[in-house]
Structure 1
Amino acid sequence: MPLVSPGTDAAGYPAFRSVVPGLLSLMGIFFANFMTRVVLAPFLLHIRDDFDLTKAQAGELFFIVSLGYSVALLCSGFFSSRLEHRQVIMVSAVGIALALVLAAFSPNLLWLRSSLLLVGLFGGLYFPSGFAVLTSMVPHTNWGKALAIHELAPNLSFVLAPLLAEMMTGLGLGWRAALAGNALLALGALVLFLRYCSAGREKSIPPRPKAYLTTLGQGRFWILAVFFAMAIGATQGVYSQTPLYLVSVRDLPADWVNYLLAASRVSGLFLVFWAGMIVDRLGPIRALRIFVALTGIATITFGLLPGSWVMLAVLVQPTMGGCFFPAGFAVLSLVYPAAVRPLAISLVVPMAVLAGGGLIPAGLGIFGDHDLFALGFILLGAAILLSTVLTTALKPSPSPSPVPSQDQPTP
């Protein structure tokens, strides 16, 4: 006589194969969400021309989206403690779609900025609830596989955004059509989510202000916040300003740059697994130290390599930057016990997104306005490289829980 029902495992969860459609539908929501943070980069030259923006003003657009995203992440607990997680995801997807439509019809810069702030606010609601839904669908022994599916979203976004931009430009469509298309994508992903995913009926525990203050007062929290800010800056921040840098400073053809940008991110689809193995073999803190150093060196080459050699830097730098996240989340799991870890993530991620995805591209734009674009990349790489010193201050918690080896969620 079988001890479990057919189609379930020993813990009573559905067989992993049966929840794959639900996981894919959740990945679709995350894909539409993440695309809002990268879709502007391939069109930045066109947006700059349409609104007569300086390089710094163009970089500010990414800061505005990141600001909204970070604020929503910080406040997400107040929503998910009152609404079911799947309801929060629905609000996020519909809100993103409406805000993107508003942005697509922007008649002036103020309208565009306001709409992008709304995009970030609704986008930031997704991650905590999406992660809660994902982990409720499968037992912890299958979290690695589930997260691997979920993590296809940001990597696909980095690859597809420049290719779609080039295709749409060839069809005579511009950035406004891209934003409207992203809105339709968000609504389509929501329909599939409601159809194939029935999880997410739970609510989260209301946030406690005292716990926030305790976490913010810890030195290890700020060290991890620096590392994650550098990680997002080295990936999303560099990505957002690369097309403008290569065209305006390195004189590469705009259409060719988009193909180069897409090719540079293909490796991210596979390297997360390699990074996980390195973390297992060397340990999280040592692996993080190596990935930080290599990312810093690779980022410096953006400004140092002469002529067309910069294309080599564009291809190599993302391979190192993408390895940050498996090591970073493994270290966070090592230094924070399980009871405190969700709170630490809810505070680290928004700060890192605001700094790495907002301040860093805006800062690079300021350097670009002063004809110092290359110096901006060199200084960013140097800051990342110097931050390796901070790894010496990270220590495991007294009773750490098992460290996840790979496929940790990208913010």
Structure 2
Amino acid sequence: MNNTSTNKDYDETQNENASSLRSQLGPLLFLTAIFFLNFISRIIFAPLMPSIEKDLGISHGEAGSLFLLISFGYFITLLGSGFISSRLKHRRTIIHSATVVGVALLIVSQINNLWGIRLGLLLLGMAAGIYLPSGIATLTSLINSRHWGKAIAIHELAPNMSFVVAPLLTEALLLWFSWRGVLVFLGVASVLAGLAFARFGKGGEFPGKTPSFRSSKMLFSEPAFWIMIILFSLGITGSLGIFAMLPLYLVTEYGMDRSWANTLIGLSRIPAVGMAFLAGWASDLLGPRRTLMAIFLLSGLTTVLLGVTSGYWTIIMIFLQPIIAVCFFPPGLAALSSIGPPSTRNVTVSLTIPVAFTLGSGVIPTGIGIMADADSFSLAIALTGGLILMGAVLSFYLRSE
């Protein structure tokens, strides 16, 4: 009882000490930059995949399975991130994540056999996995809870910008380097970012909460927790899962030139960048529940149409689908942060995201790749859209705001 009271007092003190959004904009942008490199280091393999597939002589299914290995590594360490951050504190956890992500990319860039690359990608996922719980915990400790929706929306600029930059950066660097050179570029950048945060970063000077039977049991008894696992799986599927296989889809199904496909995908993500702010604003105004219902309905429909349309309609869906899909994360993370007491916030994230990420960005792309080898690429995309539509129904069962 005393321990529970102490945790409650600590969390209330943290929120009272949290500052306004404007006063903490610098530290927030620094965390966003770290998250950007963390995210782009994982998704860069999507625009590189046509080149990697050709260089290594692998099938679509084998190409998709590479994303599964990244996701599995992410699953392992994200699930146990509380044990790491409880010892290192959130600040040092962020530093270690950034530097090891960079080292993993440098290792993969120097390996010539498929199994070695697979092990390197597993390490990459493991290094990336420890960031998000510590990043979110640091962010929410710096900023008052009234501004979490907007702060998370800014933080979510990282993946949104990654979706834009990854294909365009790939094509720019491939003019001078091989796909391995692209990995070296990002690896060096991530190591430097980690060192910079060690010197100039702010916040996170407190330990994470170690996942325990008590805290886990508390979350497991929440129906909303299980709903959020499914919703995050579907949300990640709509954004990262589709993005992972889209370059191969356009090159294989429509015969597009790789350079044009990546350029088109990069340009299609530009309008989506600002949507994170709109989604954060809508979440603060309407509440996460209603916002998520609308997002899943529109995201699922546009994904289905991406798989069944042709010609100009396909181009329209390439642009429209990501605009809707990226809106999931601000209300999704806001809803996730409201589950359970504040003292278990990082535990909630570290138990939800691993499963969701593995399914949405690992299992789904692998399944799409396997179906593509059976000449069913379009059907795989359409069926994925049908799965995303389920999120609109499940969101209804979240607690009303």
Same fold (TM over 0.5): yes
Q: Which residue of 1 aligns with 2:169?
A: 164
Which sections of structure 2, spanning at least 5 residues, go unmatched? Answer: 1-15
Written as runs of structure 1 = structure 2, the 5 A alignment for 1:377-396 is 377-396=381-400
Give the distance between the partners of 1:18 and 1:294, measured in 2 at CA.
35
Q: 1:27 aligns with which of 32, 35, 38?
A: 32
Distance 1:115 1:310 in 2: 35
User: Is the contact between residue 23 and residue 197 of structure 1 (CA under 8 Å) also seen in structure 2?
Assistant: no
CA contact (8 A) 1:303 1:375 kept: yes
Return the match for 1:64 from 60, 65, 69: 69
Structure 1, unmatched stretches of 5+, are 1-10, 397-402, 404-411
Amino acid at match of 2:273: L
Q: Does structure 1 conserve the Cα–Cα contact (< 8 Å) formed by 2:137 and 2:346?
A: no
Match of 2:336, SS state, is helix
1:261 aligns with 2:269: no
- Equivalent residue for 2:245? 241
Distance 1:88 1:336, change over 3 A: closer
Give the whole-Å Cα distance in 1 for the aligned partners of 2:321 and 2:79.
Answer: 30
Shift of residue 185 of structure 1? Answer: 0.8
Aligned residue in 2 for 1:183: 187
Q: Judging changes above 3 Å, is the alpha-carbon distance between structure 1 residues 344 and 110 closer, same or farther for their aligned structure 2 residues?
A: same
Distance 1:142 1:285 in 2: 18
Q: How far does residue 214 in structure 1 lie from its aligned partner after superposition?
A: 4.5
Coordinate RMSD, CA, aligned: 2.3
CA distance in 2, matches of 1:225, 1:178: 33
For residues 353-364 of structure 1, what are the structure 2 equivalents within 5 Å? 353-364=357-368
Q: Partners of 1:378 and 1:129 in 2: how far apart?
A: 35
C-alpha distance in structure 1 between counterparts of 2:297 and 2:348, whole Å: 24
- The amino acid of 1:227's aligned partner reads L
- Give the TM-score taking structure 2 as reference length: 0.90
Following superposition of structure 1 onto structure 2, how do residues 4-153 of structure 1 map, counting pairs within 5 Å? 19-153=24-158
Q: For residue 199 of structure 1, what is the amino acid of its counterpart?
A: G
Deviation by residue 1:6-43 (Cα, 9 ceiling, x = unmatched): xxxxx666786664433332222111111112110111
The one-letter code sitting in structure 2 at the alignment partner of 1:169 is L
Q: Tell me the CA shift for residue 159 of structure 1.
A: 0.6
The answer for the alignment partner of 1:293 in structure 2 is: 297
Deviations 1:245-285, CA, capped at 9 Å, x for gaps: 00111112211111111111112221122223433454432
Residue of structure 1 in register with 2:212 after alignment: 208
CA shift, 1:288, in A, is 1.5
Given that 1:65 and 1:358 are in contact with CA atoms closer than 8 Å, whether structure 2 keeps it comes out as yes
Q: Distance in 1 between matches of 2:395 and 2:18?
A: 38
**Does the 8 A contact of 2:71 with 2:362 survive in 1?**
yes
Alpha-carbon contact 2:36-2:162 (below 8 Å) kept: yes
User: Structure 1 residue 335: deviation in Å?
Assistant: 5.4
Q: What is the alpha-carbon distance in structure 2 between the residues aligned to residue 132 and residue 282 of structure 1?
A: 24
Deviates more, 1:369-378 or 1:270-279: 270-279
1:226 & 1:247 partners in 2: Cα distance?
31
TM-score normalised by length of structure 1:
0.88
- Residues 138 and 211 (structure 1), Cα distance of their counterparts in 2 relative to 1, 3 Å cut: closer
Change (3 A) 1:197 1:277: closer
- Structure (1 or 2) with the greater helix fraction: 2
C-alpha separation in 2, matches of 1:250 and 1:386 = 28
CA contact (8 A) 2:149 2:280 kept: no
Conserved? CA contact 2:231–2:395, under 8 Å: no
Task: Count how many residue pairs are aligned between Structure 1 and Structure 2.
Answer: 387
